Amino acid sequence: MDITIYDIIKGPVITDKAYKVNNKLKQLIIKVHMKANKPLVKEALEKLFNVKVDKVRISIRKPKMRLANRRPIKGVHEKKAIVTLKEGYSIDVLGQNGTDIVAADHVQSVQAKE
């Protein structure tokens, strides 16, 4: 099975910690395919969003066992990419009607049109 650039990027990680990382370190956190590597993530972001990527770091979250209703279940196995964009580039994470724009330069509030 070949991975296309549309399969590589699964979506953004939208958490408080992701916003803090974006504000302080000017980085984006996205979920990626388990078979994706750094060059594939960089190429997919540059082609899909027309941005220049400076650096890509990848982390894998391994599943942990936990109890749910006294039964052991496995957690989520996922891969995340922490991407640093070059100065002056940004990606709109939530879309045009969203409330926040996560950018490499800053995070700003945008009023939705009513």
CATH number where 61 lies: 3.30.70.330
Global pTM reads 0.73
pLDDT at position 97: 45
Decide if 114 is inside a domain: no
Number of domains in the chain: 1
- In one letter, which amino acid is 24? K
Domain that holds residue 84: 5-109
pLDDT at position 22: 81
pLDDT at position 82: 94
pLDDT at position 19: 82
Report residues of the chain scoring pLDDT below 50.
96-114
pLDDT at position 52: 94
